[in-house]
Structure formats: C-alpha cells, structure tokens
C-alpha cells in the first residue's frame, strides 16, 4: 500500500473504532512497485499488475472504482464515523451548556459558540476515491536505462487514471475534467501503453473550452499499447494484456491542484469543447457506474 493510501485508511479506521473496535478496517487498495532487477518477473496469481512506459520519471495517480463489496465496507466506515461524530456532539453540547451557564454569571463574558449537530445532510466523510488509490512513480522505476517504465502490483479491480500527481508532494495535474478507466485482473499484467511529450497538448484550448488548461510541463499524450509496443524481456513469460480503456466522467479535485483532462485517445475518448465524448459507446456500452457519492464514475453518454 502506498503511504498516501495508508494514511487515509488509518484515518478512517480511527473514525470506525467506536463501532468496530474488534474489526480491522477494510483495505480497499494495496499497491507496491516491482523493483528493477535482472531476473524475469513472477506474478502473484492473487494480484493484478499495471505496466506503463514513460518518457521520464513521473508520478501517475490512480483511484479505484468501488465494487459492491467495497461499497458495503465504505458505508460501514461512514456509519461508524457518524456515530463517533454524534457522540462528540453530545460531549460538546454538555460543555457548551456549562460554559453558557458560567457566561451568564459574569457580566460582559463572551457566550460560547453552540456546536452544530451532525446530520445525514451535513455530515462529511472522506470520499471513497481518497481511501482507495495509489501512486506510480516518481521513484522505483522498473526500467530506467534507455527509457523509463513502471510495473506495480495492485489489488485487482477497475481504476481511473486520476492524473499526473504525487499526493505526497501536493502538486501536479488532475484529470478531473475527463479521464479513462481500465480493469486490472488478477494474474495479469495490464499494459497501459506509454506517456510521452506531445507538443500539440501545449497549445491553447479551443475557444469556449474551459476544461482543459494547458501547462507546458504537463503536455503529454497517452498512447495505448499494441503489437508494436516495446515490451521488457523480463515480462516475456507472463500474461500481458493491453488496457481496455473506457471514457470516464468528471471527478472531484480532492487535492486542490491544477485541473485538466487526459488528452484525447483515438477510439476511446474525445472532447467537444467542455463535453466528453465516449468513442467506444456505440460499439460497447459502458457498464453502469457505482453511485457517485462513493467516489464512483458517472457514465458518459455518446456525444457528450
């Protein structure tokens, strides 16, 4: 598990203690880099692997789309946190009443501020996407000579490419205005293709398109893998499949960083100004997404 993912899981587990003191909190994502070595890669059949080539060392952040079981675990954490917030409110109200009584006894004393009671409407909890995520890079490259690549072992599931960002550093670019998802299956290496500089992405956006600011330092293109893509010889004996990218909807900017979108990918995702176009929808409709409240993706109808 990355330090970023672990920190949120730890925070959530602390919130859940009043209800589930004897239970371990769910771990939605575990991820670790496969280190550069001279030996062939051996896969853990219970884990999924993602492989991506990059022009240089860079961070890439991914968030998981919740399954039905994930949703149950998430709702349990949220309910436990709400119970704790309610208990804290009761304690805060007792202190408020004591402080209020004392303020009335002293002329000119400032009245204490009344605490706000937590309700289902105003209660805020960490979104699922911030509990289930991992970062590839900037360090721990699988290949760093004559090119760059990353190979990471992760929990099987469906993931969104969140952006070019390292949460520990706190800066980068979020693909909040459009991205793609892909499934990483157990016992397989999912090949995400390559991320390389693209001068076209450094040009100003089309007039009327406010969703895609351009930054010269982040002008990259995503190219899916195909039969011509270079493959590390250490992966020759394992099952490697090209990522089946699917257009994904907009996402919250959890980190408060620069907002952009993944560049258009032929046959996968395009844009009409601010609108996302799902280029695969006509041939293979996207599966219905989990509820957005849990950090899931909204489906993107064709022509959007």
What pTM does this model have?
A: 0.77
Q: Give 19 or 47, the one with higher predicted confidence.
A: 47
Q: Which of 10-14, 215-219, 244-248 shows the highest mean pLDDT?
A: 244-248
Burial class (CB in 10 A: 0-12, 13-18, 19+), 52: buried
pLDDT interval class at 295 (50, 70, 90) = very low
What is the phi/psi pair of residue 73, to 5°?
A: -65, -40
The whole-number average pLDDT for the span 74-92 is 91
The whole-number average pLDDT for the span 16-28 is 60
pLDDT interval class at 22 (50, 70, 90) = low
What's the chain's average pLDDT? 80
CA distances from 235 to 32, 135, 193, 238, 297 (A): 17, 21, 14, 6, 31
Q: Give 11 or 276, the one with higher predicted confidence.
A: 276
> Sign (positive/negative) of CA torsion 248, 250, 255, 257?
positive
The whole-number average pLDDT for the span 33-58 is 90
Tell me what pLDDT residue 64 has: 93
Written as six digits, the tokens of 268 are 């996968």
Tell me what pLDDT residue 282 has: 58
Nearest CA to 130 out of 8, 220, 276 is that of 8
Residue 236 in 3-state DSSP?
A: coil
Question: 107-153, pLDDT tens digit by residue?
Answer: 777 888 999 999 988 998 888 888 889 999 888 888 888 778 999 99
- Over 90: is that where the pLDDT of 155 sits? yes
The whole-number average pLDDT for the span 254-276 is 87
């Amino acid at each position: 598990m990355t330090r970023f993912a672990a920190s949120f899981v730890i925070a959530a587990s602390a919130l859940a203690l009043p209800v589930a003191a004897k239970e371990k909190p769910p771990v939605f994502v575990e991820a670790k880099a496969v280190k550069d070595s001279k030996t062939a890669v051996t896969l853990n059949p219970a884990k999924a692997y993602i492989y991506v080539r990059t022009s240089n060392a860079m961070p890439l952040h991914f968030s998981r789309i919740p399954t039905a079981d994930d949703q149950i675990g998430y709702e349990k954490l949220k309910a436990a946190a709400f119970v704790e917030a309610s208990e804290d409110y009761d304690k805060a109200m007792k202190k408020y009443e004591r402080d209020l009584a004392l303020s009335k006894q002293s002329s000119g004393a400032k009245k204490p501020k009344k605490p706000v009671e937590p309700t289902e409407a105003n209660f805020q909890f960490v979104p699922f996407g911030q509990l289930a995520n991992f970062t590839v890079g900037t360090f721990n490259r699988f290949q760093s000579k004559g090119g760059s690549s990353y190979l990471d072992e992760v929990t099987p599931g469906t993931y969104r490419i969140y952006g070019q960002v390292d949460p520990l550093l706190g800066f980068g670019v979020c693909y909040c205005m459009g991205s793609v998802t892909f499934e990483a299956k157990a016992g397989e290496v999912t090949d995400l293709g390559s991320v390389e500089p693209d001068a076209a992405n450094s040009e100003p956006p089309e007039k009327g398109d406010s969703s895609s600011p351009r930054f010269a330092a982040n002008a990259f293109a995503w190219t899916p893998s195909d039969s011509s893509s270079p493959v590390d010889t250490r992966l020759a004996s394992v099952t490697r499949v090209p990522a089946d990218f699917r257009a994904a909807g907009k996402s919250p900017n959890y980190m408060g960083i620069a907002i952009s979108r993944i560049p258009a990918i032929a046959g996968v995702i395009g844009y009409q100004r601010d609108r996302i176009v799902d280029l695969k929808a006509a041939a293979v409709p996207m599966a219905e997404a989990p509820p957005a409240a849990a950090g899931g993706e909204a489906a993107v109808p064709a022509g959007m």
